[in-house]
Amino acid sequence: MLTCRQMTELVTDYLEGRLSWKDRFRFQLHLGTCRHCREYVREMKVAVRALGRLPPVEIPPATMDALMERFRSW
């Protein structure tokens, strides 16, 4: 049976789909019995997905102008 600490060391491989079937089974078995680890993994998934949806950062007009100049002279 995995401990919570071991779970945190495996969570990236779990999210990456890199665990063997045996370790994945042990991981999921642990999640089934530990609400704290379920919460931990849920937060990780939400945070990772939020990272992929960050809005673009506004580019200073002078930078954009310089890049457009490069584009137009390309």
Helix (H, G, I), strand (E, B) or coil at 19: coil
In 3-state terms the chain splits into helix, strand, coil percentages (rounded to 5) of 75, 0, 25
Give the amino acid at 5.
R
Q: Do residues 65 and 59 touch, judged by C-beta distance below 8 A?
A: no
State the minimum distance, in angstroms, from the CB of residue 25 to another protein.
Answer: 19
Residues that bind another protein (CB under 8 A): 3-6, 8-9, 11-13, 15-18, 34, 36-37, 39-40, 42-57, 59, 63-64, 66-68, 70-72, 74
State the minimum distance, in angstroms, from the CB of residue 72 to another protein.
Answer: 8
State the minimum distance, in angstroms, from the CB of residue 30 to another protein.
Answer: 10
